[in-house]
Structure 1
Amino acid sequence: MSTAPRSGPLHPASAPGDQLSLRRANLSRTLGHLRAHGPRSRAAIAAGTGLHKATVSSLVDELLARQLVQETGLEYSGTAGRPGRAVALDGAGVGALGVAINVDYIGVHATDLAGRVLVERRIAFDATAGGPDRCVAALTEVILEALRDLERRGAVPVGVTVAVPGLVDVAHGAVVLAPNLDWHDLPLGPRLVAALPAGLRVVVDNDANLAALAEHTYGVAAGTRDLVYLTGEVGVGGGVISDGRLLRGTDGFSGEVGHLPVDPAGRRCGCGRTGCWETKVGLAELVRAVTPDRAYGLESGPLRVPEERVAELHRRLAAGDPVALDAVAEVGRWLGLGGAILVNLVNPRVLVLGGYFATLAEWLIPAARPELDRLAVAGRAAHCRFVASDLGFTAAARGAAGVVVDRVIADPTSVGSPPDTVTRVTAVRVP
């Protein structure tokens, strides 16, 4: 008779921590499925996620208790049997706040979990005057006002993401370098955490990266697995989506396309180098070429947000002003040249033009396209095209709010309270 010990159970009980992690992951899977596919019955959720129906029922009960979903009515499958009650993403009581700061404005965009816009505004602000301390104070006040707006609308703020045009150490919330703002090694995240309500999570990230995420999620190129988003601001940044994921690089500093050296004999850039791409295609360069008396740094009177400057450019172009037409054509040619460099490097399907690029796309793209075809090694075989964003100058703030929403979707247990009794059903895939 063998004295070898008997083997343990085929499926040993998981440790409590493992069970909690598994449940958190399945809550996320369920919530993410509803976001991607819209209202579904519990049976349809089970079929779509591969979870058992009993597990889904327990998960939905918890999401209902946390007020992240709501029941919307009966769903008829077209087959015999009782109809199921449909469940939809809700989260009306969750406030996700995105804030973007740039050379001449601060933008705010806040939504609930389902993406319904709760707060949106843009404030003219000269971020280059008075130094970073003044900027931090202004950002703090804008964020506090937005938080008050969310609370008045019955939404509990669960986080804020701040978009900055520069190199950002996301892990530490530090802005390493923002040339056009003249910021160097600014611990923006920690300073905002100290000034804002306790417990509010603050994330700082690059504006082009956040805008690229917004475009990939719900912009004109939504779902495109390989795209480059180009900010059309005073500075020019790029957010790269590669194979459906944001490309950050080793240190998180990828996408500084505005500082590609394209003209050794060109103008000095805000970064201290000469002939960077943004000195050829940035909004400041176009304004200087068309209205030199009203160029950035020279214009007197009230500060204007970029849309107001672009509106004047648009009027001149529509009227056939030869100076404006020549200037925009020149910017378009340089836009095509830089775009070709990006196509040769990362082979995107789409180059999304944001900011002022999008507003003037009808003049810019005809000048940029021939340069792209001429200079891209693969030529038209690369199948890359320019498209104008429909998110305008709000893309970065939208993407910033989206990061907060994504974090709740990834961990629904971070919001609300679970029901008094949650049935712990181990999730397995349906065979």
Structure 2
Amino acid sequence: MPHVNQEYNVPYTAGTALPTSSPMVRQTNLSLVLRHLRDHACQSRADIAEVTGLHRATVSNLVSQLVDRRLVQEVDTEHVGAIGRPRRPLALHGAHIGALGLEINVDHISVHGSDLGGRVLVERRVGFDSVAGGPDRALRVLGRTALEAVEAMERAEAVPAGLGVAVPGLVDVARGVVTFAPNLGWRDLPLAERLSASLGPWSVPVSVDNDANLAAVAEHTSGVAAGTPHLVYLTGDVGVGGGIFVDGKLLRGADGFSGEVGHLPVDPGGARCGCGRHGCWETKVGLAALVRTAMPDRAYQPADPQVSDPEGYATEIAGGLAAGDRRMMDAVARVGRWLGLGGSILANLFNPRVIVVGGYFATLAEWLLPHAQAELERLVVAGSANQCRFVASDLGFGAASRGAASMVVNRLIDHPTMIMDPPPRLSVI
């Protein structure tokens, strides 16, 4: 059980700075209760007090505030034993508070909107050539897509209290600036500021982050390896990015640019990458590389009118593999070996328990991952002592937008006083 500061009744660990004002203490305690209910559904007041170290009277007062504001609700009463007072379990609620996540990539925009309790309110993916027309056109479409999602969420009686955007590139998270997104052709784009300006009267915090980081958050929160403290996530899209969890925390690095695993130099004499260098891992395992060898008559084009996004290509290749197409099987085996080589580098560096693969990697996992796993085991330094394994994500191509919404929820839970009163409604025209 954590130590408790008796003056403020706030759990803390040695060396942790304590809140020094009543509003800060209230926010810290409210956040503690909400976070516990997010991670442990249906807990009683006594359960919360026991785990958090807060006094029962404090918990009761906090829960009353949260219930009054519909952020927490009581569920069916439980009886412990034949006699004694019944427990009244609590669950995260917040059906009127929404979180909106968007992903913009080379050839699509994905949308995921949920309420505070995790109920999905809107989820869709649309083909869109984000490169043609440059960032100005892309931002106009992104803003319009966001407002359409707000309208859909309002119909479900939830108003988003924040917007997160996932981008395939280097992001200065603190400023909301896309520093470099090679596959989009963006440099030093103040995405958060410009998107906020395009949203008109809908004034909410807008955050921007790397797509792989946000997809990793989604995987760590609700994916096939949820809760695994040491985890690497790999996107399987036009580009290849990585999100890395170490000791249960997202690894960002000194400047927030960690996880650019697609640009590991694995073949100095190889093909030119979108970043301008040659032989990056992305040129070996990205979807474009697979299509060039598996479907040489179909040069990969993001705006292909017949297959509007990577999911279409992956589905087409999966069909060929299921039918025993030899060219496709050879191409997937080659990509799988390169995937295992890069995975062994990550395993040697970070010693993760799992490498979760998303996007087209997950669609083709049945054929791809056996080759990748064999190569990883052959090349990893720890040999048989290494327990890392490849696993396929079950979140589909929308993991990054889901993760963007999850980050909004995390921020609201960390700062619950932002949502203690219902936000104003917005009518989208």
TM-score greater than 0.5 by the shorter chain: yes
Q: Does the Cα contact within 8 Å between 2:267 and 2:279 map onto a contact in 1? A: yes
CA offset at residue 298 of structure 1? 8.5
Q: Corresponding residue for 1:388? A: 392
User: % of aligned pairs identical?
Assistant: 63
- Verify: 1:213 aligned to 2:217, yes or no: yes
Q: Map 1:41-80 to 2 at 5 A.
A: 41-78=44-81, 80=83
CA offset at residue 370 of structure 1? 2.0
How many aligned positions are there?
A: 409
**Aligned amino acid, residue 29 of structure 2:** N
Q: Corresponding residue for 1:6? A: none
Task: Select 1:138's aligned residue among 141, 163, 166.
Answer: 141
Task: Select 1:318's aligned residue among 304, 319, 322.
Answer: 322
Q: Corresponding residue for 1:106? A: 109
Q: Corresponding residue for 2:407? A: 403
For residues 81 and 300 of structure 1, the distance between their equivalents in structure 2, rounded to whole angstroms, comes to: 67
Q: Does the Cα contact within 8 Å between 2:129 and 2:302 map onto a contact in 1? A: no
1:155/1:300 Cα in 2 relative to 1: closer, same or farther (>3 Å)? closer
For residues 16 and 344 of structure 1, the distance between their equivalents in structure 2, rounded to whole angstroms, comes to: 40
Task: Select 2:359's aligned residue among 351, 355, 358.
Answer: 355
Q: Corresponding residue for 1:3? A: none
Q: Map 1:126-165 to 2 at 5 A.
A: 126-165=129-168
Superposed CA offset, 1:7-35 (max 9, x none): xxx96999996111111111111111112
Task: Select 1:195's aligned residue among 190, 198, 221.
Answer: 198
Q: Corresponding residue for 2:376? A: 372
Task: Select 1:229's aligned residue among 221, 227, 233.
Answer: 233
1:58/1:332 Cα in 2 relative to 1: closer, same or farther (>3 Å)? same
- Compare 337-346 and 66-75 and name the one that shifted more: 66-75
After superposition, the CA RMSD in angstroms is 2.0
For residues 198 and 120 of structure 1, the distance between their equivalents in structure 2, rounded to whole angstroms, comes to: 20
Q: Corresponding residue for 2:187? A: 184
For residues 373 and 298 of structure 1, the distance between their equivalents in structure 2, rounded to whole angstroms, comes to: 34
CA offset at residue 295 of structure 1? 2.0
For residues 303 and 396 of structure 2, the distance between their equivalents in structure 1, rounded to whole angstroms, comes to: 24
Q: Does the Cα contact within 8 Å between 2:177 and 2:188 map onto a contact in 1? A: yes
1:373/1:16 Cα in 2 relative to 1: closer, same or farther (>3 Å)? closer
Q: Corresponding residue for 1:425? A: none
Q: Does the Cα contact within 8 Å between 1:125 and 1:303 map onto a contact in 2? A: no
Q: What is the SS of the residue equivalent to 2:100?
A: strand
Superposed CA offset, 1:31-77 (max 9, x none): 11112221122222222222112111110111012210112232212
1:331/1:12 Cα in 2 relative to 1: closer, same or farther (>3 Å)? closer
Superposed CA offset, 1:130-152 (max 9, x none): 11111111110110100111111
Q: What is the SS of the residue equivalent to 1:224?
A: coil
5+ residue gaps, structure 2, are 1-5, 11-17, 423-429
Give the TM-score taking structure 2 as reference length: 0.92
Q: Corresponding residue for 2:85? A: 82
Q: Does the Cα contact within 8 Å between 1:40 and 1:75 map onto a contact in 2? A: no
Q: Corresponding residue for 1:121? A: 124
1:166/1:11 Cα in 2 relative to 1: closer, same or farther (>3 Å)? closer
Q: What is the SS of the residue equivalent to 1:149?
A: helix
CA offset at residue 275 of structure 1? 0.5
- Compare 285-294 and 53-62 and name the one that shifted more: 285-294
**Aligned amino acid, residue 255 of structure 2:** D
For residues 333 and 177 of structure 1, the distance between their equivalents in structure 2, rounded to whole angstroms, comes to: 29
**Aligned amino acid, residue 57 of structure 1:** S
Q: Corresponding residue for 1:417? A: 421
Q: Does the Cα contact within 8 Å between 1:165 and 1:208 map onto a contact in 2? A: yes
1:341/1:11 Cα in 2 relative to 1: closer, same or farther (>3 Å)? closer
Task: Select 2:337's aligned residue among 320, 333, 338.
Answer: 333
Q: Does the Cα contact within 8 Å between 2:105 and 2:168 map onto a contact in 1? A: yes
